[in-house]
Chain A
Amino acid sequence: MLEIKNLHVKLEEQDKVILKGVDLTVEAGKVHAIMGPNGSGKSTLSYVLSGRDGYEVTDGSATLEGEELLDMEPEERAAAGLFLAFQYPVEIPGVGNMTFLRTAVNAQRKARGEEELSAGDFLKLVRQKAKTLKIDAEMLKRPVNVGFSGGEKKRNEILQMAMLEPRMCILDETDSGLDVDAMRLVAEGVNALRDENRSFLVITHYQRLLDHIKPDVVHIMADGRIIKTGGPELALEVENNGYAAILAEHGIEGVL
């Protein structure tokens, strides 16, 4: 599904190198988790994959089902099936959540040569998906993320994901800021989307989320690289012992 090879990225405006050769392959139907100390480059990886400005790829590639992502515009990547649930969802005053969702859904359908959803069909779909995420009608009417609580914003991200039905879902710390119940809702939302043609890359700091969304593979990212890959037990090891031992193994000094 997603194949990242030797990805090197620096900031466009500064000489700072953030990703220093990331190699990562996510197979169809699998859930991969990425953990790693603050500042190791996890969000940067997710932004670069989804096409945010401000980064310069100096080497390497990233393909989605064989297609080079790095050559595409952000909207083309979305239409190709990539989705990023933001670590910090963006507020857009003046644009209703519903308008935002409908514009996004129809833009992607159009890009794929499918017919736009009628207003009625769209409404039915969004109501049904919102209900399972406990997002009420009022939240759908409000401007995108404006005045939403942290947890509401994260649930709103998952609603967008559910509506857009991407094939490759990247979740950047979707669990942060969620209470226990919201965490379960979000996890259920994600699990409902799991199928053999859809993959997930879940960025998280905590084992908690991975109790609900069981990963097939866990990666540890540090200093702009994937330094260790293992099974679910790797997340438990981090939870219990922290990163010190793993970092030391790779000759990387701890951040703290």
Chain B
Amino acid sequence: MTAVEKQTPLEARLAAIDLPKGGAFTAARADALARLVAMGLPGRRDEYWRYTDPAALNAPMAPAAKPFEASDEAPLFNGMDRVKLVFVDGVFDAEASDAPELAGVEIARLAEAEAADIHWAQGLYGTLETAGQSPVVRPFAALNSAAATDGLLIRVTGKAAKPVSLIYVHRSETSDPILHHVIKLEPGAEFTLLENGPAGARFNKVMEVDVGAGARFHHIRAQGRDHERRAVTGIFARVAEGALFKSFTMTVNGVLTRNECVIDMVGDDAVAHVAGAALGDGASGAFHHDDTVFITHGAERGESRQVFKKVLKHGAVGTFQGKILVKPGAQKTDGYQISQSLLLDDDSQFLGKPELEIYADDVKCSHGSTTGALDETAMFYLRSRGVPHEEATALLVLSFLADAIDEIEDEALKDEVVSRLEAWLARHRG
């Protein structure tokens, strides 16, 4: 045969990737690849890709993206007591990182652990991702499990005294990192994970989090200031009895960000909160932000909250697809979901798709989705007190975001996030 057969988009995508082989995760990676091949890459016709065009994520090569010129502003979480671990364009940078040592916490790199024949994360890697593929497929997560070049395997056995802080530096205009983290909290453990930075021109990240009985997991993430970057991320969490899972994401800028979060509440009395605050200004580059959330209540007395807020201007687009599924028998479930957007002009757009699916009769579930402009009466009230228009706008934007930001329990971290939002608002006046 001499004729070259035309590649499918998935074949082209896979041809551009070096699939890691061998070691402890070989089987998991092979399974993931099989899943991906079975589901294919997403297209605009797929129900959960109607609002977001996956073309740039499907492309074999990452569309070029200039790294953001660092200003004199201190990096986020700087000066906080933490264990800092740095990835540059997806490559672990030991020099720039702290020693990965913290009492009650085991930290290993995927790329290193993989060389061993057996590893504690073996039974977990790809497992939660697989569970999260049904009823809605998430091809980029399967791609990630198959092709991740590195990531962290973190096992928490006690109460961590300080957070682990992952910093994703973006330097190369064409970097296309794929990172996969597995985090396991043993029963009663406590752990806070911080993440910030754009990571690359196109970033694919999956984080599988297994929260054991009575354990508490806090996640605070900031998706950086790069204007041109693209990212598709997936959080796959399993929350056991009496355990707590809390994740907050702040997103400013970025051509395309798709954040998926799939949470399975498998134990009674589990609590899961996911929140996001996204600010997009189309004047500094295209902005498209997509939050896609799926929370399954599979046990009794679970409490879940989804709080997503978006502030959009100059043609920025925000989308939200959030679902609460209450399985039969998940009585006394308390599920809450709110997605709101504040459009600062007429060019911007918000598309929302809230969904509830309930198979238990004794539950309390509510959802709401709103789109609105700044409240003119409040604006006049502030201005009549001498607060200039721009400053009043910033104040009202922060007030709009407050419910989402309040999902951050730690006051110092909350202040840190608020100060960044304020700085962003100050840079994006008018």
Residues of A within 8 A of B (CB): 50-53, 73-75, 77-79, 83-84, 86, 89-95, 99-100, 103-104, 107-108, 111, 143, 160, 164
* A residues near B391, Cβ cutoff 8 Å: 103, 107
Q: How far is the CA of A200 from the CA of B354 in the complex (A)?
A: 52
> Binary interface profile of B, 383-418, with partner A (CB < 8 Å = 1, else 0)?
111111101000110111111000000000000000
Are the CB atoms of B389 and A103 closer together than 8 Å?
no
Are the CB atoms of B387 and A75 closer together than 8 Å?
yes
Most chain A beta-carbon neighbours within 10 Å: one of B382, B395, B403 = B382
* B residues near A77, Cβ cutoff 8 Å: 384
**Interface locus among B101-109, B149-157, B373-381:** B373-381
Q: Which 3 residue pairs across A and B have the least CB separation, nearest first?
A: A94-B399, A78-B386, A94-B402
Are the CB atoms of A78 and B383 closer together than 8 Å?
yes
Cβ of B22 to closest chain A Cβ, rounded Å = 53
Are the CB atoms of A108 and B386 closer together than 8 Å?
yes
Are the CB atoms of B376 and A107 closer together than 8 Å?
no
Are the CB atoms of A90 and B377 closer together than 8 Å?
yes
Residue of B nearest to A104 (CB): B385
A-B contact pairs, 8 of them (CB 8 A): A51-B383, A73-B388, A75-B386, A75-B387, A77-B384, A89-B381, A90-B381, A100-B395
Are the CB atoms of B378 and A73 closer together than 8 Å?
no
* B residues near A75, Cβ cutoff 8 Å: 383-384, 386-389
Q: How far is the CA of A75 from the CA of B393 in the complex (A)?
A: 13
Q: How far is the CA of A93 from the CA of B397 in the complex (A)?
A: 11
* A residues near B383, Cβ cutoff 8 Å: 51, 73-75, 78
* Inter-chain contact total with CB atoms closer than 8 Å: 79
Q: How far is the CA of A75 from the CA of B403 in the complex (A)?
A: 28
The binding surface of chain B is classed by DSSP as helix
Q: How far is the CA of A100 from the CA of B375 in the complex (A)?
A: 16
Q: How far is the CA of A84 from the CA of B384 in the complex (A)?
A: 7
Are the CB atoms of B380 and A52 closer together than 8 Å?
yes
Are the CB atoms of A94 and B400 closer together than 8 Å?
yes
Size category of the B interface is 20 to 34
Cβ of B196 to closest chain A Cβ, rounded Å = 24
A sample of 5 more A-B contacts (CB under 8 A), given A86-B384, A104-B386, is: A79-B386, A90-B381, A92-B375, A94-B399, A108-B386
Are the CB atoms of B389 and A73 closer together than 8 Å?
yes
* A residues near B386, Cβ cutoff 8 Å: 75, 78-79, 104, 107-108, 111, 164
* B residues near A111, Cβ cutoff 8 Å: 386, 388
* A residues near B387, Cβ cutoff 8 Å: 75, 103-104, 107
Q: How far is the CA of A160 from the CA of B401 in the complex (A)?
A: 25
* B residues near A51, Cβ cutoff 8 Å: 380, 383-384
Are the CB atoms of A78 and B399 closer together than 8 Å?
no
Cβ of A44 to closest chain B Cβ, rounded Å = 14
Are the CB atoms of B388 and A107 closer together than 8 Å?
yes
Are the CB atoms of A53 and B388 closer together than 8 Å?
no
Contact residue among B377, B385, B398 (Cβ-Cβ distance under 8 Å from A160): B385
Are the CB atoms of B399 and A74 closer together than 8 Å?
no
Residue of A nearest to B381 (CB): A90
Are the CB atoms of B384 and A50 closer together than 8 Å?
yes
Cβ of B399 to closest chain A Cβ, rounded Å = 3
Q: How far is the CA of A99 from the CA of B402 in the complex (A)?
A: 14
* B residues near A107, Cβ cutoff 8 Å: 385-388, 391
Cβ of B209 to closest chain A Cβ, rounded Å = 30
Which residues in chain B, 37-90, are within 8 Å of chain A measured between CB atoms?
Answer: none
Most chain B beta-carbon neighbours within 10 Å: one of A51, A92, A99, A164 = A92
Q: How far is the CA of A73 from the CA of B390 in the complex (A)?
A: 12
